[in-house]
Structure formats: structure tokens, C-alpha cells
Amino acid sequence: MIDALRALFPAVALEPAASIDQPTIRVPAASLVEVCRALRDRPEFGFILLADLTAVDWSPRQPRYQVVYHLSSMTQRLRITVSVDGPSPRLPTVQSVWPAAGWLERETWDMFGIIFEEHGDLRRLLMPDDWEGYPLRKDFPVQIRLRPRSEQPLQVTEEEFRANLARDKAARADAPGKIGF
């Protein structure tokens, strides 16, 4: 497959990537939409479904982020990876190729802060509208104890969490055969 893509895009640095479960190729960000369109439209590929899109934060490695696209055709699967870096990492949107990418790109922006250029609707999808930061970035400050607000769930320490688990386990042991609480 990579040889066929290289023949179509001789000027693009397409590289195979190591993977244990499915073929994977690295695509430069500047060529992403063009390569994705060929993968969808050319009969020898036929990747009509963008099954998933997510990202990985490899901090402190550079480039820091890797955006991962999982594609499916009627007979095969393919993973595309694109590396991006910087304080405001950017990629072109692939909504023109797979319209369903809109929600997946919003989710990736919401969790990692990766901007999908010309997306048109990058707003919070999973986090509250007033949320600050991107919670799946490795440098996002995790708070173990936070004074609870009425609209947010209570956060507990690790010791309190373990004590709750032990109490729940003991309650289940005391009531064998009972489903639920």
C-alpha cells in the first residue's frame, strides 16, 4: 500500500511505521488532506470510513503530539499518524474527506488543544464551556484535592478512594446474591 501511495505522491515523505496490529503510515501534516482524499477516492484503497481520530502526547519527546487516524475499507484497515508540535499545534481538518471527522476533531481539540485549521466549530465537546486547559496533555495540572462546588463531583484523596472501595467490597460480601445497593 505504501508503494502505491508513494507512486501517487512522489514528492511527499510517506513512511511506514512500526505496528503490531495493522498497517501504519506517517504522513506529513502539509499533505494530510491530499493523501486522505486519495485513500478514500482511489478504488485500489477505498477507505470510506474514518473509524477514529485521536492524539497522543509524547512529552517531553519532540515532536510532542501524534494525531492518529484509523481508517477502514471493506477489506482492510489502515492507521495514519501525523506529528505536530509547538504550544498551539495545528493540522488541517479532514472534514472535507470524511464529514464525521468534525466531532472527532472537536474531541481531540477539547482534550489536547490541537487546532484543526478551517474546522469552523472548535468548541468544547466533553469539557464544560468554561474549562481552562486541555486535560489529556501530560503537563495538565492534576488536582488530587479540590474544594467541591455544587455543580462538580467531589474529588477525594487516594486514601479516601481506597477506603471507599474497601467499604463497598465489604458491603457486597455481607450481602451475597443481592444485586446492586
Asked if pLDDT for residue 177 goes beyond 60, the answer is no
The structure's pTM equals 0.76
**Which run of H or E residues covers position 6?**
helix 2-8
**Quick one: which of 135, 31, 13 has its CA closest to 91?**
31
> Whose CA is closest to 31, among 77, 81, 75?
81
Cα–Cα distance for residue pair 53/45, rounded to 1 Å: 19
Whole-angstrom distance, CA of residue 101 vs CA of residue 78: 16
pLDDT band at 130 (very low <50, low <70, confident <90, very high): confident
Window from 63-72, 77-86, 149-158 with minimum mean pLDDT: 149-158
Q: 120 falls in which pLDDT band (50, 70, 90)?
A: confident
181 band by pLDDT with thresholds 50, 70 and 90: very low
The x, y and z cell numbers of residue 137, run together, are 496533555
Partners of residue 77 on adjacent β-strands: 72
What pLDDT does residue 53 have? 97
Is 83 in contact with 24 (CB distance < 8 Å)? no
Q: Does domain 2-130 have CATH number 3.30.460.80?
A: yes
> 146 pLDDT exceeds 60?
no
The residue extents of the domains of the chain are: 2-130, 143-181
Output the DSSP codes for 22-69.
S-EEE--GGGHHHHHHHHHHSTTT---EEEEEEEEE-TTSSS-EEEEE
Single-letter amino acid, residue 28: P
- Residue 144: is its pLDDT beyond 80? no
* Among candidate residues 59, 53, 97, the one with its CA nearest the CA of residue 79: 53
